[in-house]
Amino acid sequence: MSEIPAKPDHRQLGQELDLFVFSDLVGSGLPLWTPRGTAIRDAADKLVWELRQRRGYQKVEIPHLTKKDLYETSGHWTKFSDELFKITSREGHLFAVKPMNCPHHIEIYRRRPQSYRDLPIRYANTTMVYRDEQTGELGGLTRVRSITQDDAHVFCRADQAKSEIEKVWQIIEEFYGAVGFDKWQIRLSFHDSQKMEKYLGTEIDWQKAENVLREVVHDRQVNAEEVAGEAAFYGPKIDFTAIDPLGREWQLATIQLDVNVPERFDLTCINEQGEKERIMMVHCAIMGSIERFVATVLEFTGGALPIWLAPVQTMILSVSEKEVAYAERVATELRQANIRVETNFDNETLGKKIRGAKLQKIPYLLIIGAAEAVAGNITIEDRDTGQSSKSSVSDFLSRFK
């Protein structure tokens, strides 16, 4: 990986790499994503979905509005009413722009009686939520008003909770390993038994959920700090903090176990005896906020993103106009192989083109001059190794894959 600046700033990198923009006409905390920035988001979300799909998740979709009744039932209205964007219809009905997705997924689960044979049921949904953050608290992509969550909820029996949490843990390790994070600190964020008014449910329910998380950590044979008072209001969490090569800490994924919201919505399955049995929920967002994830990975890598995540994976540079026709054919071949490629055929010196492309931290530069056009090959400049080599297009495609 390329050398990482001591204190990279994702806002500056976002501007230099042309990834996102903020508009005064759109509003503070509402980022607009360019084609390059959108490519990062899509690549990250695609990998999360592939990892989930292998473990039996199903996609669902939900609206961006809801009646207040939904959040009154879940407890969010009482807890977070001041942070909600509210809309009143022409008929006088009060709606909220959704700040979270779990109650909507719950209603999908509740559409019919569920048998124990159907569980676990795993719903995944990448969607935006909206929170009325104060203007002074907004900052780049790390604190925004429109938040894209790669959200998922698992509905399971009590004796299935541990294995479902383990599956999520595996996804977190695989996903962030692909980014380059491999050193972790694990924290168990638990309730504060002296301030039960902050939480849903009873002390017994909380102890039950927290013991499950303790068992998961114990089985994993990892050290985890227990922190009282850091839980979500509906359940305890496993929080994952990564440590980068510079010793910086990055708060990333979280796994939450919920026994309280299922109680409020009377979530059950029909067990082997034909009776209703209370179930648990596992809340899990791998990136959490895609906006915050992009900010984190930009600062972690200094903008030199791993090739699978890079918005432009390859740029083709022509030496002169004479090579443009061949270079276009190469670009077409790469695009057909699903490589994100851009071209620079401007009437500039090759040195200037190379310098400009390197500032954009593109993993591979493919240089095509007269010799390459005649031989039907390319010259490759590798960002991460700094080495230059000649190759056929087919060999490059094999190397790329």
Kindly name the residue from 98, 187, 283, 340 that is annotated as catalytic. Answer: 283
Active site residue 64: no
> Of 183, 288, 297, 294, which is closest to residue 241 (Cα–Cα)?
183
Domain assignment of residue 74, yes or no:
no
Domain assignment of residue 306, yes or no:
no
Shared-domain flag, residues 278 and 352: no
Shared-domain flag, residues 232 and 274: yes
Rounded Cα distance between 229 and 2, Å, is 40
DSSP letter (8 states) at residue 229: T
pLDDT, tens only, 168-224: 999 999 999 999 887 788 999 998 888 888 888 888 888 888 999 999 999 999 888
Segment 296-300 long-range contacts (CB within 8 Å, at least 24 positions apart): 296/10, 296/250, 296/252, 297/179, 298/8, 298/10, 298/13, 298/14, 298/17, 298/19, 299/8, 299/9, 299/10, 299/13, 300/4, 300/179, 300/180, 300/181, 300/244, 300/248, 300/250
Query: Higher pLDDT residue, 376 or 247?
Result: 376
Shared-domain flag, residues 279 and 325: no
Query: Higher pLDDT residue, 42 or 134?
Result: 42
Q: What is the mean pLDDT of the chain?
A: 91
Vertex 247 angle, CA 243 and 252, to 5°: 25
Kindly name the residue from 150, 151, 239, 258 that is annotated as catalytic. Answer: 151
Structural domains in the chain (count): 2
The predicted pLDDT at position 306 comes to 94
Shared-domain flag, residues 294 and 333: no
Given a cut of 50, whether residue 344 has pLDDT beyond it is yes
Given a cut of 60, whether residue 121 has pLDDT beyond it is yes
Q: Please provide the distance, in angstroms rounded to a whole number, between the alpha carbons at the two ends of the chain.
A: 18
Shared-domain flag, residues 355 and 295: no
Q: pLDDT tier at 245 (50, 70, 90 boundaries)?
A: low
Domain assignment of residue 207, yes or no:
yes
Kindly name the residue from 36, 149, 205, 360 that is annotated as catalytic. Answer: 149
Shared-domain flag, residues 150 and 200: yes
Kindly give, in sequence order, each residue whose CB lies less than 8 Å from that of residue 85, ignoring residues fewer than 6 positions away.
Answer: 96, 97, 99, 130, 131, 132
The predicted pLDDT at position 5 comes to 46
Q: Quick one: CA dihedral 52, 56, 61, 67, positive or negative? A: negative
DSSP letter (8 states) at residue 232: B
Active site residue 283: yes
Kindly name the residue from 104, 153, 167, 361 that is annotated as catalytic. Answer: 153
Q: Alpha-carbon dihedral of residues 75, 76, 78, 82, nearest 10 degrees?
A: 180
Shared-domain flag, residues 246 and 349: no
Kindly name the residue from 76, 122, 187, 237 that is annotated as catalytic. Answer: 237
Shared-domain flag, residues 291 and 187: yes
Task: Tell which of 277, 301, 325 closes a domain.
Answer: 301
Active site residue 76: no
Domain assignment of residue 1, yes or no:
no
Kindly name the residue from 10, 41, 102, 239 that is annotated as catalytic. Answer: 102
Question: How many residues belong to the chain?
Answer: 401
68-77, 149-158, 193-202: which has the minimum mean pLDDT?
A: 193-202
Task: Tell which of 301, 327, 362 closes a domain.
Answer: 301
Rounded Cα distance between 250 and 248, Å, is 7
Vertex 52 angle, CA 156 and 230, to 5°: 60
Shared-domain flag, residues 295 and 353: no
CATH of the domain at 359: 3.40.50.800
Shared-domain flag, residues 321 and 267: no
Active site residue 93: no
The predicted pLDDT at position 183 comes to 79
Phi first, then psi, for residue 314 (nearest 5°) are -145, 135
Active site residue 346: no
Query: Higher pLDDT residue, 172 or 3?
Result: 172
Given a cut of 80, whether residue 3 has pLDDT beyond it is no
State whether residue 190 is helix, strand or coil: strand
Domain assignment of residue 5, yes or no:
no
What percent of the chain stands above pLDDT 90? 64
Given a cut of 60, whether residue 157 has pLDDT beyond it is yes
Given a cut of 90, whether residue 27 has pLDDT beyond it is yes
Rounded Cα distance between 151 and 49, Å, is 10
Shared-domain flag, residues 297 and 320: no
The type of residue at 274 is G
pLDDT, tens only, 185-197: 899 999 888 888 8
Task: Tell which of 242, 275, 301 closes a domain.
Answer: 301
Residue 383 sits in which domain range?
Answer: 314-400
Kindly name the residue from 131, 187, 353, 361 that is annotated as catalytic. Answer: 131
Q: pLDDT tier at 2 (50, 70, 90 boundaries)?
A: very low
Active site residue 218: no
Shared-domain flag, residues 270 and 353: no
The radius of gyration of the chain's CA atoms, rounded to the nearest angstrom, is 24
> Of 57, 127, 123, which is closest to residue 289 (Cα–Cα)?
127
Domain assignment of residue 155, yes or no:
yes
Domain assignment of residue 216, yes or no:
yes
- Mean pLDDT across the stretch 107-135? 95
Rounded Cα distance between 297 and 153, Å, is 25
Given a cut of 60, whether residue 336 has pLDDT beyond it is yes
The type of residue at 391 is S
CATH of the domain at 118: 3.30.930.10
Domain assignment of residue 85, yes or no:
no
The predicted pLDDT at position 1 comes to 46
Active site residue 237: yes
